[in-house]
Amino acid sequence: MGISVSNLACERGSTRILEGVDFDVPDGQALILRGPNGAGKTTLLRCLAGLTPPAGGTLTHDTDDVAYAAHADGLKAQLTAGENLRFWARVYGSGDIAPAADAFRLHDLVDRPAQYLSAGQKRRLALARLTLTNRPIWCLDEPTVSLDAQNVGRFADAVRAHMAGGGVALIATHIDLGLDTARVLDISQFTASADGTEHDPFLDEALS
Ligand SMILES: Nc1ncnc2c1ncn2[C@@H]1O[C@H](COP(=O)(O)OP(=O)(O)OP(=O)(O)O)[C@@H](O)[C@H]1O
């Protein structure tokens, strides 16, 4: 399956952010998305996940096959960590939460309400959801924010396990995850602004 993107254009609001985006990611591979702040990494991931329709070009994958992890953790604050995991396991039809809890060392936290978890613990819980989705394509936006070095390593292990099972991962990150086989794509080459500078639609509007 993998992902194949051809001449893709992406918008936020009605503003064209990216155009001419071309790449392939075969099964079992990861693609690291790089580019300066505002280059359009989130915009591209949202488009690949089906949250924003493409403004042009083609995607070959079914967006229902995508598990998307945004900047926000998306936890249910009143539920415990374990209840959050069991909720997602029911939603995605995956029975056992133990492998997800193992991957991110959450066993000691399962009875704690999510609202009382530290920032890094919340992020680990949010990332554990990925392993419960059984979805083959992971689109991850700055997944390691708030993680310490050991947990960055655990996250990288989870991505490796996903790839070993034939899964695909697209990861916007500014850090080195140590994924030796991953390709890197600088998406600033696809920025839609004519002069090549960072496009700021709010400034454009103020000056027009
Ligand atoms: N709703 C919106 N309407 C118009 N423009 C938007 C909207 N949301 C974001 N943008 C603009 O789209 C551009 C791309 O934003 P995006 O969040 O995709 O960048 P990014 O590469 O993920 O940045 P960062 O590294 O800072 O997370 C930015 O210039 C941003 O200001």
130-174 tens-digit pLDDT: 999 999 999 999 999 999 999 999 999 999 999 999 999 999 999
Residue closest by Cα to atom 13 of ligand 1 = 38
Dist. CA 17 → ligand 1 center (Å): 8
The pLDDT of 6-16, averaged and rounded, is 95
- Evaluate whether 173 touches 32 at the Cβ level (below 8 Å): yes
8-state DSSP, 161:
H
Q: Which residues line ligand 1 (CB under 6 A)?
A: 12-13, 15, 17, 35, 37-43, 199-201
Encode pLDDT of 165-206 as tens digits: 999 999 999 999 999 999 999 999 999 965 444 445 565 566
Domain boundaries, the chain: 3-73+130-192
> Can you tell me which atom of ligand 1 is nearest the CA of 44?
18
User: What's residue 146's pLDDT?
Assistant: 95
Q: Where are the beta strands (DSSP E) in 1-70?
A: 3-12, 15-25, 30-34, 56-59, 66-69
Whole-structure pTM value: 0.90
Q: For the chain, what's the residue count?
A: 208
3-state secondary structure of 108: helix
Rounded-to-integer distance, Cα 175 and Cα 182, Å: 13
Encode pLDDT of 94-124 as tens digits: 889 999 999 999 999 999 999 999 999 999 9
Token pair listed for 121: 């613990």
Strands 56-59 and 3-12: antiparallel
Dist. CA 42 → ligand 1 center (Å): 7
Dist. CA 179 → ligand 1 center (Å): 26
Residue closest by Cα to atom 8 of ligand 1 = 12
CATH code assigned to 3-73+130-192: 3.40.50.300
Dist. CA 12 → ligand 1 center (Å): 7
- Evaluate whether 5 touches 23 at the Cβ level (below 8 Å): yes
- Evaluate whether 66 touches 135 at the Cβ level (below 8 Å): yes
Dist. CA 43 → ligand 1 center (Å): 6
